[in-house]
Chains A and B, each alone.
Chain A
Amino acid sequence: MSSAYIPLIVDGLADAALIFFVAVGLTLVFSVMRILNVAHGSFYALGAYISVVIGLWLTGRGGPVLGLAALVISPVLIAVLLGPLIELTLLRWTYGRPEALQILVTFGLFLILEDAQKLIFGVQPYSQDTPMQILGITRIGGIVYLNYQLILVLMAVLVAVGLRLMLKRTRIGKLIVTVVTDQELAQTLGIDSSRVFILAFSLGVFLAALGGALASPTVGVAPGLGSETIVLAFAVAAIGGLGQIEGAALAAILVGLTRSAAIYFAPEFQPVAPYLVMLAVLLVRPFGLFGSIGLRRI
């Protein structure tokens, strides 16, 4: 393969990393609570806004390196504050109810979060690319890489591996897997499923907000980010198979590379590229790459 394609691939993988954070959060929440959260993309947007604001503030106090910390602090903050609050007050009442109702409730939440965001941050775009600037570039064999993009890809790999290890090895991970497999059984074994729900939902919020925070140096943060993101995350989760972590990872890579190829070769197709991939995959595998009917496994 000609090295001319390398920038295309790196762009695609960096894009895939950001998509993966949101899509895996969506898929995790779906597999634990059996709910498709329409407001999930809003946590991504919130992650982006808040990390820009906190990043500017920290940069003002201690310089741009300290500003980098905002990219991790903001998602943690959002998850801790909003995760339990939303799960306990809103989602809890929709479990086991008809899907139409769940979608209406989370759509309502989406509208509220979008308006709250406009109220707080206004409608003019924010941009803060200092984190990308200060991390600089690496030159290998005449090709220039943005270090920030390399770090994005590395973080996505760490999150994917970390999630899998958490589910396999840690106490809370095992409890989550048990609730996913069989909630009633889990309860008879002494597992407090309502706690598992709070935790899993907050983890989903964290992953979406992390995606947004890490995306903020690479894009203009403006209204519409939440709705764009949720549609894309749905597509990626569906391609991977709802509830499948490795599926979401592979789907994100597919979509990221396709989008980046579209940008290089046929820019007018860039917006529809993810949905063409989705169409092609779902025609062959209606439950996604890693999914199957009635699957209760994460």
Chain B
Amino acid sequence: MLRLEQVRVRFHDQIVLRDVKMDVPASRTTVLIGRNGAGKTTTLRAIMGVLPLENGRIWLDDVDLTGVRSHDRARFGVGYAPEDRRLIPDFSVEDNLLLPAIALRLAGEERRRRLDEIFNLLPEVAALRHRAGGVLSGGQGKMVALGRALMVGTRYVLLDEPFQGLAPALALSYADTLVRLRKSRPDLGLLITESTPRLLDKIVDNSLLIERGEISSLARKAA
């Protein structure tokens, strides 16, 4: 279980997350729905540890992540795909995928295992492995960013508005990929933000609504 307790984030004089409480269970798909500017991205960034909390704690099972520095959180198996894909343009797709593996000094065997798993789930990415990150289309880049998040995320994967900017057909195929991911990795905790959650109907277990920095439960599907 990934748990946020009374998390408060402030930018200058504006409080952006207001004592947020949220549970993200393992083996489930949690969707965080909210309008533009509601605080979705800020919630994910807070979990990743890249912005300071004014108040509150973040737990991963019984580990207090609050004081754990951002790059060390990756070690706990929490992966993140930001809203814009942010690949390294000069690196090949494969090198982009392997970045977390070299940063975390994963053993060669584990590296190959994770890479094969990603290529199995995302055959279209396997076909692009030698292309440069900078020459991919928006949809291709999103797939690679998902693969990169999976390279880190052995326990949790956070996806920030994965359908944003995708043409309808691509969005559908991305949604199918998430369905396959759900099946192939039943243990994985998924937290996905969306402004229009329609495409996630097939996999969502738990929907949360965020409005002006406050989270409320929307609906709960029996597990």
Q: Is the CB of B102 within 8 A of A174?
A: yes
Within A177-196, the residues touching B (CB, 8 Å) are 177-178, 181-182, 184-193
B79's nearest neighbour on chain A, judged by CB, is A188
Contacts of A191 in B (CB 8 A): 71, 99, 103
**In contact, B89 and A189 (Cβ under 8 angstroms):** no
Interface segment among B30-38, B80-88, B112-120, B195-203: the answer is: B80-88
Q: Contacts of A187 on B, CB cut-off 8 Å?
A: 48-50, 69-71, 74
Q: B residues within 8 A CB of A168?
A: 90
List residues of chain A with CB within 8 A of the CB of B99: 174, 178, 189, 191
Q: In the bound complex, what is the Cα–Cα distance between A168 and B91 (angstroms)? A: 8
**Is A175 located at the chain interface by the 8 A CB criterion?**
yes
Q: Report B-chain residues with C-beta under 8 Å of the C-beta of A118.
A: none
A188 near B80 with CB under 8 A, answer yes
Do the beta carbons of B74 and A189 come within 8 Å of each other? Answer: yes
* B205 CB within 8 Å of chain A: no
Q: Is A92 interfacial (CB-CB < 8 Å)? A: no
Q: Is the CB of A188 within 8 A of B103?
A: no
B143 within 8 A of A: no
With A174-B95, A174-B99 in contact, is A188–B90 under 8 Å at CB? no
With a CB–CB cut-off of 8 A, which chain B residues contact A188? 48, 50, 70-71, 73-74, 79-80, 82, 152
A189 — which chain B residues lie within 8 A by C-beta?
A: 71, 74, 99-100, 103, 148, 152
Residue of B nearest to A193 (CB): B71
Report A-chain residues with C-beta under 8 Å of the C-beta of B220.
Answer: none
Is A190 in contact with B90, judged by CB distance below 8 angstroms? no
Complex contacts, B80 vs chain A, CB 8 Å: 188
Most chain A beta carbons < 10 A, residue from B72, B74, B148? B74
A171 to B90, CA, bound (A): 15
- Chain A residue nearest in CB terms to B106: A190
**Bound-state Cα–Cα, A168 to B148, Å:** 19
CB pair B86 A190 closer than 8 Å: no
CB distance from A140 to the nearest CB of B (A): 39
* Complex contacts, A190 vs chain B, CB 8 Å: 71-72, 74-75, 100, 103-104, 152
**Which residue of A171, A178, A192 contacts B88 across the interface (Cβ within 8 Å)?**
A178
CA distance A192 to B100 in the complex (A): 11
Contacts of A175 in B (CB 8 A): 102-103
CA distance A34 to B75 in the complex (A): 27
Give the nearest-CB partner of B78 in chain A.
A188
On whether A177 and B91 interact (CB within 8 A), knowing A189-B99, A190-B100, the answer reads yes
Interface residues of A in 239-298 (CB under 8 A from B): 297
Binding site for B on A (CB under 8 A): 168, 171, 174-175, 177-178, 181-182, 184-193, 297
Q: A187-B50, A190-B152 are in contact. List 15 more A-B contacts (CB 8 A).
A: A175-B103, A181-B89, A185-B82, A186-B103, A187-B49, A187-B70, A187-B71, A189-B71, A189-B74, A190-B71, A190-B74, A190-B104, A191-B71, A191-B99, A192-B69
Pairs of residues from A and B, 10 with the lowest C-beta to C-beta distance, nearest first: A190-B74, A187-B70, A190-B103, A189-B100, A190-B104, A191-B103, A192-B71, A188-B80, A187-B71, A188-B48
